[in-house]
A and B are shown apart, each in its own frame.
Chain A
Amino acid sequence: MGDLIQMVVAKYNYWIYITLMMIGLYAMIAKNNLVKKIVGMNIFQTAIILFYVSTGAKRGATIPILEHGHGGHGAGAHMVHAADYINPLPHVLMLTAIVVSVATLGVALALAIRVYNRYDTLEEDEILAQIREK
Protein backbone atom coordinates (compact mmCIF):
# COMPACT_ATOMS: atom_id res chain seq x y z
CA MET A 1 0.00 0.00 0.00
CA GLY A 2 2.80 2.32 0.89
CA ASP A 3 4.43 1.52 -2.41
CA LEU A 4 1.30 2.38 -4.31
CA ILE A 5 0.88 5.74 -2.63
CA GLN A 6 4.50 6.48 -3.17
CA MET A 7 4.13 5.66 -6.85
CA VAL A 8 1.08 7.85 -7.21
CA VAL A 9 2.63 10.76 -5.42
CA ALA A 10 5.94 10.54 -7.21
CA LYS A 11 4.41 10.45 -10.65
CA TYR A 12 1.51 12.77 -9.99
CA ASN A 13 2.03 14.65 -13.23
CA TYR A 14 1.37 11.45 -15.18
CA TRP A 15 -1.80 10.76 -13.26
CA ILE A 16 -3.07 14.25 -13.78
CA TYR A 17 -2.51 14.21 -17.48
CA ILE A 18 -4.06 10.79 -17.87
CA THR A 19 -7.14 11.91 -15.95
CA LEU A 20 -7.48 15.05 -18.01
CA MET A 21 -7.00 13.07 -21.20
CA MET A 22 -9.69 10.62 -20.25
CA ILE A 23 -12.06 13.42 -19.34
CA GLY A 24 -11.49 15.00 -22.72
CA LEU A 25 -11.90 11.71 -24.52
CA TYR A 26 -15.07 10.98 -22.62
CA ALA A 27 -16.50 14.34 -23.57
CA MET A 28 -15.66 13.80 -27.22
CA ILE A 29 -17.28 10.40 -27.34
CA ALA A 30 -20.19 10.58 -24.94
CA LYS A 31 -21.49 14.08 -25.25
CA ASN A 32 -24.11 14.91 -27.80
CA ASN A 33 -23.58 18.61 -28.20
CA LEU A 34 -21.02 19.52 -30.83
CA VAL A 35 -19.56 22.36 -28.82
CA LYS A 36 -19.12 20.11 -25.84
CA LYS A 37 -17.24 17.72 -28.04
CA ILE A 38 -14.99 20.52 -29.12
CA VAL A 39 -14.43 21.46 -25.51
CA GLY A 40 -13.51 17.86 -24.81
CA MET A 41 -11.07 17.90 -27.68
CA ASN A 42 -9.42 20.95 -26.26
CA ILE A 43 -9.12 19.38 -22.83
CA PHE A 44 -7.57 16.34 -24.45
CA GLN A 45 -4.99 18.38 -26.25
CA THR A 46 -4.28 20.50 -23.19
CA ALA A 47 -3.62 17.38 -21.15
CA ILE A 48 -0.84 16.41 -23.48
CA ILE A 49 0.60 19.90 -23.44
CA LEU A 50 0.64 19.89 -19.66
CA PHE A 51 2.35 16.53 -19.70
CA TYR A 52 5.17 17.74 -21.89
CA VAL A 53 5.69 20.85 -19.86
CA SER A 54 5.69 18.89 -16.65
CA THR A 55 8.49 16.69 -17.93
CA GLY A 56 10.74 19.69 -18.21
CA ALA A 57 10.44 20.59 -14.55
CA LYS A 58 13.31 19.99 -12.19
CA ARG A 59 13.45 20.21 -8.44
CA GLY A 60 14.76 23.55 -7.28
CA ALA A 61 15.35 24.86 -10.77
CA THR A 62 14.61 28.30 -12.09
CA ILE A 63 13.36 29.70 -15.37
CA PRO A 64 15.73 29.12 -18.25
CA ILE A 65 16.94 32.66 -18.92
CA LEU A 66 20.61 33.54 -18.68
CA GLU A 67 21.16 36.81 -16.86
CA HIS A 68 24.45 38.04 -18.21
CA GLY A 69 23.53 40.07 -21.25
CA HIS A 70 26.65 39.10 -23.22
CA GLY A 71 24.56 37.54 -25.93
CA GLY A 72 26.45 34.29 -26.13
CA HIS A 73 30.15 34.76 -27.00
CA GLY A 74 31.87 31.44 -27.06
CA ALA A 75 34.92 32.47 -25.02
CA GLY A 76 33.35 34.68 -22.42
CA ALA A 77 30.34 32.56 -21.51
CA HIS A 78 30.33 31.02 -18.08
CA MET A 79 29.72 27.33 -17.66
CA VAL A 80 26.02 26.86 -17.29
CA HIS A 81 24.91 24.30 -14.81
CA ALA A 82 22.00 22.64 -16.57
CA ALA A 83 20.38 21.29 -13.46
CA ASP A 84 19.69 24.82 -12.26
CA TYR A 85 17.42 25.64 -15.14
CA ILE A 86 14.22 23.88 -16.19
CA ASN A 87 14.37 22.33 -19.62
CA PRO A 88 13.18 24.91 -22.14
CA LEU A 89 12.82 22.51 -25.05
CA PRO A 90 9.44 21.03 -24.09
CA HIS A 91 8.13 24.54 -23.64
CA VAL A 92 9.29 25.43 -27.11
CA LEU A 93 7.69 22.34 -28.57
CA MET A 94 4.49 23.02 -26.75
CA LEU A 95 4.27 26.54 -28.04
CA THR A 96 3.93 24.97 -31.43
CA ALA A 97 1.43 22.46 -30.14
CA ILE A 98 -0.65 25.16 -28.52
CA VAL A 99 -0.77 27.05 -31.78
CA VAL A 100 -1.86 23.90 -33.54
CA SER A 101 -4.50 23.27 -30.93
CA VAL A 102 -5.84 26.79 -31.26
CA ALA A 103 -5.95 26.50 -35.03
CA THR A 104 -7.79 23.21 -34.76
CA LEU A 105 -10.20 24.80 -32.33
CA GLY A 106 -10.84 27.60 -34.78
CA VAL A 107 -11.54 25.24 -37.64
CA ALA A 108 -13.75 23.09 -35.47
CA LEU A 109 -15.80 26.04 -34.28
CA ALA A 110 -16.16 27.33 -37.83
CA LEU A 111 -17.42 23.95 -38.92
CA ALA A 112 -19.81 23.83 -35.97
CA ILE A 113 -21.25 27.18 -36.99
CA ARG A 114 -21.79 25.90 -40.54
CA VAL A 115 -23.44 22.78 -39.22
CA TYR A 116 -25.67 24.87 -36.98
CA ASN A 117 -26.66 27.10 -39.87
CA ARG A 118 -27.67 24.11 -41.88
CA TYR A 119 -29.41 21.92 -39.34
CA ASP A 120 -30.51 24.53 -36.78
CA THR A 121 -29.29 22.47 -33.90
CA LEU A 122 -26.03 21.50 -32.30
CA GLU A 123 -27.20 18.20 -30.89
CA GLU A 124 -25.74 15.32 -32.82
CA ASP A 125 -28.67 12.95 -32.44
CA GLU A 126 -31.08 15.54 -33.83
CA ILE A 127 -28.77 16.17 -36.75
CA LEU A 128 -28.52 12.49 -37.54
CA ALA A 129 -32.30 12.21 -37.35
CA GLN A 130 -32.61 15.04 -39.83
CA ILE A 131 -30.14 13.39 -42.17
CA ARG A 132 -31.94 10.07 -42.03
CA GLU A 133 -35.20 11.72 -42.91
CA LYS A 134 -33.87 13.01 -46.20
Chain B
Amino acid sequence: METMISIKPLLAVLVSLLVTPILVSSRAPNVREAWTFVAAAAKFLIVLSMLPTILKGTEIVYTVAEFLPGAAIKFRVDALGMLFALVSSSLWIITSAYSIGYMRGLKEHSQTRYFVFFAFALSATVGVAFSANLLTMYLFYEMLSLATYPLVTHHQDPEARSSGRKYLLYIVGTSIGLALPAMLISYNLAGTLEFGRQGFLAGTASKPLIGLLLFMFLFGFAKAAIMPFHSWLPAAMVAPTPVSALLHAVAVVKVGVFSVVRVLTGVFGTDLLFSLDFGPVILFVASATILVGSFIALSQDGLKRLLAYSTIAQLSYIVLGVGLLSPKGITGGMVHIAMHAFGKITLFFCAGAIFVATGKKNISDMVGIGRRMPVTMAAFFIASLSIIGMPPCGGFVSKWYLVLGTLEAHQMPILFVLLFSSLLNAAYFMPIVYKAFFCRPEEAMFENTVQEAPPFCVVPLVITAVISVILLFYPQPFFRLASMMVQKITGT
Protein backbone atom coordinates (compact mmCIF):
# COMPACT_ATOMS: atom_id res chain seq x y z
CA MET B 1 0.00 0.00 0.00
CA GLU B 2 1.84 3.04 -1.16
CA THR B 3 1.14 6.37 0.41
CA MET B 4 1.51 9.81 -1.00
CA ILE B 5 1.79 13.02 0.96
CA SER B 6 -0.40 15.82 -0.20
CA ILE B 7 -2.09 18.77 1.41
CA LYS B 8 -5.33 18.07 -0.45
CA PRO B 9 -7.14 16.40 2.45
CA LEU B 10 -6.54 19.43 4.63
CA LEU B 11 -7.69 21.71 1.84
CA ALA B 12 -10.83 19.70 1.35
CA VAL B 13 -11.65 20.16 5.01
CA LEU B 14 -10.76 23.81 5.18
CA VAL B 15 -12.32 25.11 2.00
CA SER B 16 -15.73 25.55 3.50
CA LEU B 17 -14.32 27.12 6.66
CA LEU B 18 -12.44 29.68 4.66
CA VAL B 19 -15.60 30.80 2.96
CA THR B 20 -17.15 31.75 6.29
CA PRO B 21 -15.94 35.34 6.55
CA ILE B 22 -17.30 36.09 3.12
CA LEU B 23 -20.61 34.59 4.00
CA VAL B 24 -20.85 36.56 7.18
CA SER B 25 -19.95 39.87 5.68
CA SER B 26 -22.03 39.86 2.57
CA ARG B 27 -25.27 41.77 2.71
CA ALA B 28 -26.70 40.55 -0.55
CA PRO B 29 -28.37 37.15 -0.31
CA ASN B 30 -27.43 36.23 -3.85
CA VAL B 31 -23.75 36.84 -3.21
CA ARG B 32 -23.96 34.73 -0.11
CA GLU B 33 -25.64 31.86 -1.91
CA ALA B 34 -23.22 32.12 -4.78
CA TRP B 35 -20.28 31.77 -2.41
CA THR B 36 -21.87 28.73 -0.81
CA PHE B 37 -22.01 27.12 -4.22
CA VAL B 38 -18.42 28.08 -4.89
CA ALA B 39 -17.32 26.48 -1.65
CA ALA B 40 -19.39 23.36 -2.26
CA ALA B 41 -18.11 22.99 -5.78
CA ALA B 42 -14.53 23.55 -4.66
CA LYS B 43 -14.84 20.93 -1.96
CA PHE B 44 -16.33 18.41 -4.33
CA LEU B 45 -13.67 19.04 -6.94
CA ILE B 46 -10.82 18.68 -4.47
CA VAL B 47 -12.29 15.42 -3.21
CA LEU B 48 -12.86 14.25 -6.76
CA SER B 49 -9.32 15.11 -7.74
CA MET B 50 -8.04 12.61 -5.23
CA LEU B 51 -10.23 9.82 -6.55
CA PRO B 52 -7.98 8.57 -9.35
CA THR B 53 -5.09 8.19 -6.93
CA ILE B 54 -7.20 6.21 -4.52
CA LEU B 55 -8.60 4.00 -7.22
CA LYS B 56 -5.07 3.10 -8.21
CA GLY B 57 -4.48 1.82 -4.71
CA THR B 58 -2.40 4.66 -3.27
CA GLU B 59 -3.44 6.40 -0.09
CA ILE B 60 -2.94 10.07 0.59
CA VAL B 61 -1.56 11.16 3.95
CA TYR B 62 -1.05 14.53 5.59
CA THR B 63 0.00 15.32 9.15
CA VAL B 64 -1.06 18.60 10.70
CA ALA B 65 0.37 18.33 14.20
CA GLU B 66 1.95 15.50 16.07
CA PHE B 67 0.79 15.47 19.63
CA LEU B 68 1.97 12.16 21.00
CA PRO B 69 3.50 9.21 19.18
CA GLY B 70 0.60 7.50 17.53
CA ALA B 71 -1.80 10.32 18.32
CA ALA B 72 -1.64 13.16 15.86
CA ILE B 73 -3.99 15.38 13.96
CA LYS B 74 -3.49 13.55 10.73
CA PHE B 75 -5.39 12.84 7.55
CA ARG B 76 -5.35 9.64 5.56
CA VAL B 77 -7.51 9.25 2.49
CA ASP B 78 -8.34 5.65 1.83
CA ALA B 79 -11.09 3.94 -0.10
CA LEU B 80 -13.70 4.07 2.64
CA GLY B 81 -13.00 7.69 3.46
CA MET B 82 -13.16 8.60 -0.20
CA LEU B 83 -16.53 6.88 -0.53
CA PHE B 84 -18.00 8.85 2.30
CA ALA B 85 -16.41 12.14 1.30
CA LEU B 86 -17.71 11.81 -2.25
CA VAL B 87 -21.21 11.16 -1.02
CA SER B 88 -21.30 14.07 1.38
CA SER B 89 -19.56 16.65 -0.77
CA SER B 90 -21.64 15.90 -3.83
CA LEU B 91 -24.81 16.04 -1.85
CA TRP B 92 -23.81 19.36 -0.32
CA ILE B 93 -23.99 21.02 -3.69
CA ILE B 94 -27.45 19.67 -4.29
CA THR B 95 -28.62 20.50 -0.81
CA SER B 96 -27.40 24.05 -1.10
CA ALA B 97 -29.57 24.50 -4.14
CA TYR B 98 -32.48 22.97 -2.29
CA SER B 99 -31.85 25.12 0.79
CA ILE B 100 -32.12 28.26 -1.25
CA GLY B 101 -35.51 27.27 -2.56
CA TYR B 102 -36.73 26.15 0.82
CA MET B 103 -35.47 29.01 2.94
CA ARG B 104 -36.61 31.65 0.51
CA GLY B 105 -39.90 29.91 -0.04
CA LEU B 106 -40.62 30.10 3.66
CA LYS B 107 -38.86 33.41 4.26
CA GLU B 108 -36.84 31.96 7.09
CA HIS B 109 -34.80 34.16 9.41
CA SER B 110 -31.07 34.09 10.11
CA GLN B 111 -30.19 32.54 6.78
CA THR B 112 -26.59 33.66 7.02
CA ARG B 113 -26.11 31.78 10.25
CA TYR B 114 -27.68 28.76 8.58
CA PHE B 115 -25.32 28.73 5.64
CA VAL B 116 -22.27 29.41 7.81
CA PHE B 117 -22.91 26.52 10.15
CA PHE B 118 -23.82 24.30 7.24
CA ALA B 119 -20.34 24.98 5.87
CA PHE B 120 -18.80 24.14 9.25
CA ALA B 121 -20.75 20.93 9.42
CA LEU B 122 -19.55 19.83 6.01
CA SER B 123 -15.98 20.68 6.98
CA ALA B 124 -16.29 18.45 9.98
CA THR B 125 -17.88 15.67 7.93
CA VAL B 126 -15.06 15.59 5.42
CA GLY B 127 -12.67 15.78 8.36
CA VAL B 128 -14.16 12.62 9.83
CA ALA B 129 -14.01 10.92 6.43
CA PHE B 130 -10.34 11.64 6.04
CA SER B 131 -9.21 10.96 9.61
CA ALA B 132 -6.17 8.80 9.98
CA ASN B 133 -6.61 7.99 13.63
CA LEU B 134 -9.11 8.01 16.47
CA LEU B 135 -7.98 11.34 17.84
CA THR B 136 -8.59 13.23 14.61
CA MET B 137 -11.88 11.45 14.11
CA TYR B 138 -12.98 12.33 17.63
CA LEU B 139 -11.97 15.94 17.06
CA PHE B 140 -14.08 16.30 13.94
CA TYR B 141 -16.91 14.28 15.43
CA GLU B 142 -17.20 16.80 18.27
CA MET B 143 -16.85 19.69 15.88
CA LEU B 144 -19.78 18.30 13.92
CA SER B 145 -21.94 18.03 17.04
CA LEU B 146 -21.30 21.65 17.85
CA ALA B 147 -21.67 22.89 14.29
CA THR B 148 -25.04 21.23 13.89
CA TYR B 149 -26.53 22.49 17.15
CA PRO B 150 -27.43 25.92 15.74
CA LEU B 151 -28.85 24.20 12.68
CA VAL B 152 -31.07 21.87 14.65
CA THR B 153 -32.31 24.70 16.87
CA HIS B 154 -32.69 27.09 13.97
CA HIS B 155 -36.27 28.06 14.70
CA GLN B 156 -35.41 29.12 18.22
CA ASP B 157 -38.83 28.31 19.61
CA PRO B 158 -39.43 26.29 22.80
CA GLU B 159 -39.70 23.07 20.82
CA ALA B 160 -36.37 23.72 19.18
CA ARG B 161 -34.86 24.46 22.54
CA SER B 162 -35.89 21.17 24.10
CA SER B 163 -34.90 19.22 21.00
CA GLY B 164 -31.56 20.95 21.05
CA ARG B 165 -31.05 19.90 24.63
CA LYS B 166 -31.91 16.32 23.81
CA TYR B 167 -29.57 16.43 20.85
CA LEU B 168 -26.69 17.65 22.96
CA LEU B 169 -27.46 15.37 25.83
CA TYR B 170 -27.41 12.24 23.73
CA ILE B 171 -24.62 13.09 21.36
CA VAL B 172 -22.16 15.02 23.48
CA GLY B 173 -23.00 13.03 26.58
CA THR B 174 -22.12 9.73 24.94
CA SER B 175 -19.07 11.03 23.15
CA ILE B 176 -17.54 12.48 26.32
CA GLY B 177 -18.82 9.82 28.66
CA LEU B 178 -18.17 6.72 26.56
CA ALA B 179 -16.11 7.38 23.47
CA LEU B 180 -13.47 9.56 25.11
CA PRO B 181 -12.51 7.17 27.93
CA ALA B 182 -12.62 4.28 25.44
CA MET B 183 -10.20 6.17 23.23
CA LEU B 184 -7.85 6.90 26.12
CA ILE B 185 -7.94 3.36 27.41
CA SER B 186 -7.18 2.09 23.90
CA TYR B 187 -4.26 4.45 23.63
CA ASN B 188 -2.89 3.30 26.95
CA LEU B 189 -3.25 -0.31 25.91
CA ALA B 190 -1.86 -0.09 22.43
CA GLY B 191 0.32 3.01 22.41
CA THR B 192 -1.23 4.24 19.20
CA LEU B 193 -4.53 5.37 17.78
CA GLU B 194 -3.78 4.96 14.07
CA PHE B 195 -6.36 2.96 12.19
CA GLY B 196 -4.70 -0.23 11.15
CA ARG B 197 -5.48 -2.77 8.46
CA GLN B 198 -6.69 -5.14 11.07
CA GLY B 199 -7.04 -2.74 13.93
CA PHE B 200 -4.51 -2.13 16.66
CA LEU B 201 -6.10 -3.72 19.69
CA ALA B 202 -5.22 -7.29 18.83
CA GLY B 203 -3.36 -8.92 21.65
CA THR B 204 -3.35 -5.95 23.97
CA ALA B 205 -6.04 -6.84 26.45
CA SER B 206 -8.25 -9.53 27.81
CA LYS B 207 -11.61 -10.45 26.29
CA PRO B 208 -13.76 -8.72 28.90
CA LEU B 209 -11.84 -5.48 28.48
CA ILE B 210 -12.10 -5.63 24.69
CA GLY B 211 -15.78 -6.36 25.10
CA LEU B 212 -16.16 -3.33 27.34
CA LEU B 213 -14.32 -1.18 24.82
CA LEU B 214 -16.54 -2.48 22.03
CA PHE B 215 -19.62 -1.58 24.00
CA MET B 216 -18.24 1.89 24.81
CA PHE B 217 -17.36 2.62 21.19
CA LEU B 218 -20.61 1.30 19.73
CA PHE B 219 -22.74 3.41 21.99
CA GLY B 220 -20.27 6.25 22.38
CA PHE B 221 -20.79 7.30 18.79
CA ALA B 222 -24.46 7.95 19.33
CA LYS B 223 -24.76 9.69 15.99
CA ALA B 224 -25.14 6.19 14.58
CA ALA B 225 -28.49 6.10 16.35
CA ILE B 226 -28.07 2.59 17.61
CA MET B 227 -30.79 1.88 20.10
CA PRO B 228 -31.19 2.86 22.88
CA PHE B 229 -29.34 6.08 22.08
CA HIS B 230 -31.54 6.92 19.14
CA SER B 231 -34.18 9.31 20.46
CA TRP B 232 -32.30 12.40 19.49
CA LEU B 233 -32.98 11.74 15.84
CA PRO B 234 -36.77 12.01 15.77
CA ALA B 235 -36.47 14.98 18.13
CA ALA B 236 -34.09 16.70 15.72
CA MET B 237 -36.75 16.73 13.05
CA VAL B 238 -37.82 20.15 14.29
CA ALA B 239 -35.04 21.52 12.15
CA PRO B 240 -35.76 22.95 8.73
CA THR B 241 -36.04 20.19 6.17
CA PRO B 242 -32.80 20.80 4.27
CA VAL B 243 -31.02 20.46 7.61
CA SER B 244 -32.84 17.24 8.26
CA ALA B 245 -32.08 16.12 4.76
CA LEU B 246 -28.37 16.58 4.62
CA LEU B 247 -27.47 16.28 8.22
CA HIS B 248 -29.71 13.54 9.36
CA ALA B 249 -29.86 11.54 6.20
CA VAL B 250 -26.31 12.02 5.13
CA ALA B 251 -23.85 13.90 7.27
CA VAL B 252 -24.57 13.55 10.97
CA VAL B 253 -25.90 10.04 11.06
CA LYS B 254 -23.54 8.87 8.38
CA VAL B 255 -20.65 10.28 10.38
CA GLY B 256 -21.88 8.25 13.30
CA VAL B 257 -22.17 5.02 11.42
CA PHE B 258 -18.95 5.71 9.53
CA SER B 259 -17.19 6.15 12.85
CA VAL B 260 -18.60 2.85 14.05
CA VAL B 261 -17.45 1.12 10.86
CA ARG B 262 -14.01 2.68 11.19
CA VAL B 263 -13.73 1.59 14.77
CA LEU B 264 -14.87 -1.94 14.01
CA THR B 265 -12.46 -2.33 11.10
CA GLY B 266 -9.60 -0.01 12.03
CA VAL B 267 -9.44 -0.28 15.81
CA PHE B 268 -10.66 -3.79 16.52
CA GLY B 269 -10.24 -5.48 13.15
CA THR B 270 -12.45 -8.20 11.73
CA ASP B 271 -10.05 -10.97 12.76
CA LEU B 272 -10.07 -9.94 16.40
CA LEU B 273 -13.85 -9.61 16.46
CA PHE B 274 -14.18 -13.00 14.79
CA SER B 275 -11.77 -14.75 17.12
CA LEU B 276 -13.43 -13.30 20.20
CA ASP B 277 -16.84 -14.12 18.77
CA PHE B 278 -18.14 -10.59 19.06
CA GLY B 279 -19.79 -10.66 15.65
CA PRO B 280 -23.10 -11.98 16.98
CA VAL B 281 -23.18 -9.27 19.64
CA ILE B 282 -22.95 -6.56 17.03
CA LEU B 283 -25.50 -8.36 14.89
CA PHE B 284 -27.90 -8.60 17.76
CA VAL B 285 -27.70 -4.91 18.61
CA ALA B 286 -28.04 -3.92 14.95
CA SER B 287 -30.93 -6.26 14.27
CA ALA B 288 -32.81 -5.04 17.30
CA THR B 289 -32.45 -1.50 16.09
CA ILE B 290 -33.56 -2.41 12.59
CA LEU B 291 -36.67 -4.24 13.65
CA VAL B 292 -37.76 -1.90 16.38
CA GLY B 293 -37.07 1.15 14.22
CA SER B 294 -39.09 -0.24 11.36
CA PHE B 295 -41.99 -1.12 13.61
CA ILE B 296 -42.10 2.32 15.16
CA ALA B 297 -41.96 3.88 11.70
CA LEU B 298 -45.12 1.98 10.83
CA SER B 299 -47.07 3.85 13.46
CA GLN B 300 -45.92 7.37 12.63
CA ASP B 301 -48.14 9.95 11.08
CA GLY B 302 -45.68 12.79 10.76
CA LEU B 303 -43.78 12.25 7.53
CA LYS B 304 -40.46 13.49 8.83
CA ARG B 305 -40.71 11.41 11.96
CA LEU B 306 -41.44 8.35 9.88
CA LEU B 307 -38.39 9.08 7.80
CA ALA B 308 -36.36 9.53 10.97
CA TYR B 309 -37.25 6.10 12.28
CA SER B 310 -36.64 4.65 8.86
CA THR B 311 -33.17 6.20 8.97
CA ILE B 312 -32.51 4.68 12.37
CA ALA B 313 -33.29 1.27 10.96
CA GLN B 314 -31.34 1.81 7.75
CA LEU B 315 -28.22 2.91 9.58
CA SER B 316 -28.12 -0.31 11.44
CA TYR B 317 -28.05 -2.16 8.12
CA ILE B 318 -24.60 -0.70 7.70
CA VAL B 319 -23.54 -1.81 11.15
CA LEU B 320 -25.11 -5.18 10.44
CA GLY B 321 -23.12 -5.50 7.26
CA VAL B 322 -19.86 -4.98 9.07
CA GLY B 323 -20.98 -7.16 11.94
CA LEU B 324 -21.33 -10.09 9.56
CA LEU B 325 -17.54 -10.03 9.32
CA SER B 326 -17.68 -11.54 5.86
CA PRO B 327 -16.34 -9.80 2.74
CA LYS B 328 -19.65 -9.54 0.92
CA GLY B 329 -21.43 -8.40 4.04
CA ILE B 330 -18.95 -5.64 4.72
CA THR B 331 -19.08 -4.58 1.08
CA GLY B 332 -22.86 -4.44 1.27
CA GLY B 333 -22.75 -2.38 4.41
CA MET B 334 -20.28 0.13 2.99
CA VAL B 335 -22.11 0.50 -0.31
CA HIS B 336 -25.29 1.09 1.61
CA ILE B 337 -23.72 4.26 2.98
CA ALA B 338 -23.95 5.69 -0.50
CA MET B 339 -27.23 4.12 -1.59
CA HIS B 340 -29.11 5.09 1.51
CA ALA B 341 -27.74 8.62 1.30
CA PHE B 342 -29.11 9.28 -2.15
CA GLY B 343 -32.40 7.59 -1.45
CA LYS B 344 -33.05 9.19 1.92
CA ILE B 345 -32.11 12.63 0.83
CA THR B 346 -34.63 12.42 -1.97
CA LEU B 347 -37.31 11.44 0.51
CA PHE B 348 -36.51 14.36 2.78
CA PHE B 349 -36.42 16.74 -0.15
CA CYS B 350 -39.90 15.53 -1.07
CA ALA B 351 -41.16 16.04 2.45
CA GLY B 352 -39.78 19.57 2.40
CA ALA B 353 -41.22 20.31 -1.02
CA ILE B 354 -44.61 19.18 0.17
CA PHE B 355 -44.32 21.47 3.17
CA VAL B 356 -43.31 24.46 1.07
CA ALA B 357 -46.03 23.91 -1.47
CA THR B 358 -48.91 22.92 0.76
CA GLY B 359 -47.86 23.42 4.38
CA LYS B 360 -48.69 19.80 5.22
CA LYS B 361 -46.59 17.72 7.56
CA ASN B 362 -48.71 14.67 8.28
CA ILE B 363 -49.26 11.72 6.03
CA SER B 364 -52.94 11.67 6.79
CA ASP B 365 -53.18 15.12 5.22
CA MET B 366 -51.48 14.00 2.05
CA VAL B 367 -54.17 11.93 0.44
CA GLY B 368 -54.30 12.56 -3.27
CA ILE B 369 -51.31 14.80 -3.29
CA GLY B 370 -49.97 12.95 -6.31
CA ARG B 371 -52.28 14.85 -8.55
CA ARG B 372 -51.03 18.16 -7.31
CA MET B 373 -47.33 17.33 -7.20
CA PRO B 374 -46.75 14.39 -9.55
CA VAL B 375 -43.03 14.96 -10.05
CA THR B 376 -42.36 15.10 -6.35
CA MET B 377 -44.34 11.99 -5.59
CA ALA B 378 -42.78 10.11 -8.47
CA ALA B 379 -39.37 10.88 -7.03
CA PHE B 380 -40.68 9.78 -3.64
CA PHE B 381 -41.75 6.49 -5.15
CA ILE B 382 -38.37 5.85 -6.75
CA ALA B 383 -36.51 6.73 -3.59
CA SER B 384 -38.65 4.50 -1.46
CA LEU B 385 -37.95 1.64 -3.82
CA SER B 386 -34.27 2.25 -3.24
CA ILE B 387 -34.72 2.18 0.50
CA ILE B 388 -36.81 -0.96 0.39
CA GLY B 389 -34.10 -2.47 -1.76
CA MET B 390 -35.91 -3.26 -4.93
CA PRO B 391 -34.79 -2.83 -8.50
CA PRO B 392 -34.52 -0.66 -10.51
CA CYS B 393 -32.87 1.37 -7.77
CA GLY B 394 -29.44 1.42 -6.24
CA GLY B 395 -30.59 0.14 -2.87
CA PHE B 396 -30.97 -3.22 -4.48
CA VAL B 397 -27.20 -3.56 -4.86
CA SER B 398 -26.48 -3.07 -1.20
CA LYS B 399 -29.35 -5.29 -0.08
CA TRP B 400 -28.19 -7.99 -2.46
CA TYR B 401 -24.71 -7.95 -1.05
CA LEU B 402 -25.99 -7.92 2.50
CA VAL B 403 -28.05 -11.03 1.75
CA LEU B 404 -25.05 -12.70 0.14
CA GLY B 405 -23.05 -11.70 3.19
CA THR B 406 -25.43 -13.44 5.57
CA LEU B 407 -25.14 -16.60 3.49
CA GLU B 408 -21.38 -16.31 3.48
CA ALA B 409 -21.28 -15.90 7.23
CA HIS B 410 -23.85 -18.63 7.84
CA GLN B 411 -26.08 -16.35 9.83
CA MET B 412 -29.53 -17.50 8.86
CA PRO B 413 -31.47 -15.48 11.43
CA ILE B 414 -29.96 -12.31 9.99
CA LEU B 415 -31.25 -13.26 6.56
CA PHE B 416 -34.68 -13.42 8.06
CA VAL B 417 -34.16 -10.01 9.69
CA LEU B 418 -33.15 -8.49 6.36
CA LEU B 419 -36.12 -9.87 4.47
CA PHE B 420 -38.63 -9.09 7.16
CA SER B 421 -37.42 -5.55 7.57
CA SER B 422 -37.62 -4.99 3.81
CA LEU B 423 -41.23 -6.04 4.06
CA LEU B 424 -41.76 -3.58 6.86
CA ASN B 425 -40.14 -0.85 4.80
CA ALA B 426 -42.56 -1.56 2.02
CA ALA B 427 -45.38 -1.58 4.54
CA TYR B 428 -44.79 1.95 5.60
CA PHE B 429 -43.70 3.48 2.31
CA MET B 430 -46.10 2.02 -0.18
CA PRO B 431 -49.31 3.21 1.45
CA ILE B 432 -48.06 6.77 1.25
CA VAL B 433 -47.40 6.49 -2.45
CA TYR B 434 -50.60 4.61 -3.09
CA LYS B 435 -52.72 7.10 -1.22
CA ALA B 436 -50.98 9.94 -2.99
CA PHE B 437 -51.80 8.74 -6.47
CA PHE B 438 -54.70 6.34 -6.30
CA CYS B 439 -57.62 7.52 -4.29
CA ARG B 440 -61.24 8.18 -4.82
CA PRO B 441 -61.99 11.68 -6.03
CA GLU B 442 -63.93 12.49 -2.85
CA GLU B 443 -60.96 11.62 -0.68
CA ALA B 444 -58.55 13.82 -2.53
CA MET B 445 -57.60 16.80 -0.47
CA PHE B 446 -56.12 18.75 -3.28
CA GLU B 447 -57.35 20.15 -6.55
CA ASN B 448 -56.37 18.42 -9.69
CA THR B 449 -54.13 21.18 -10.96
CA VAL B 450 -50.40 20.58 -10.98
CA GLN B 451 -48.75 23.02 -8.60
CA GLU B 452 -45.29 21.94 -7.61
CA ALA B 453 -42.94 23.55 -5.15
CA PRO B 454 -40.54 26.16 -6.53
CA PRO B 455 -38.01 24.82 -9.06
CA PHE B 456 -35.11 25.19 -6.66
CA CYS B 457 -36.82 22.57 -4.54
CA VAL B 458 -38.01 20.24 -7.23
CA VAL B 459 -34.95 20.03 -9.44
CA PRO B 460 -32.62 18.72 -6.71
CA LEU B 461 -34.95 15.96 -5.73
CA VAL B 462 -35.34 14.87 -9.29
CA ILE B 463 -31.59 14.80 -9.65
CA THR B 464 -31.07 12.63 -6.60
CA ALA B 465 -33.89 10.30 -7.57
CA VAL B 466 -32.37 9.83 -11.00
CA ILE B 467 -28.98 9.17 -9.42
CA SER B 468 -30.59 6.50 -7.26
CA VAL B 469 -31.72 4.74 -10.38
CA ILE B 470 -28.41 5.15 -12.16
CA LEU B 471 -26.61 3.68 -9.18
CA LEU B 472 -28.16 0.30 -9.81
CA PHE B 473 -26.73 0.07 -13.27
CA TYR B 474 -23.49 1.82 -12.58
CA PRO B 475 -22.68 1.74 -8.87
CA GLN B 476 -19.21 3.10 -9.43
CA PRO B 477 -17.15 4.48 -7.96
CA PHE B 478 -18.81 3.53 -4.68
CA PHE B 479 -18.82 -0.15 -5.27
CA ARG B 480 -15.24 -0.19 -6.43
CA LEU B 481 -14.15 1.81 -3.38
CA ALA B 482 -16.01 -0.48 -1.02
CA SER B 483 -14.50 -3.57 -2.62
CA MET B 484 -11.04 -2.07 -2.41
CA MET B 485 -11.52 -1.35 1.26
CA VAL B 486 -12.75 -4.87 1.95
CA GLN B 487 -9.81 -6.27 0.01
CA LYS B 488 -7.45 -4.26 2.14
CA ILE B 489 -9.09 -5.41 5.34
CA THR B 490 -9.44 -9.06 4.62
CA GLY B 491 -6.39 -9.36 2.46
CA THR B 492 -8.30 -11.23 -0.21
Instruction: Decide if A and B touch, CB cutoff 8 A.
Output: no
Mark A residues whose CB is within 8 Å of B.
Answer: none
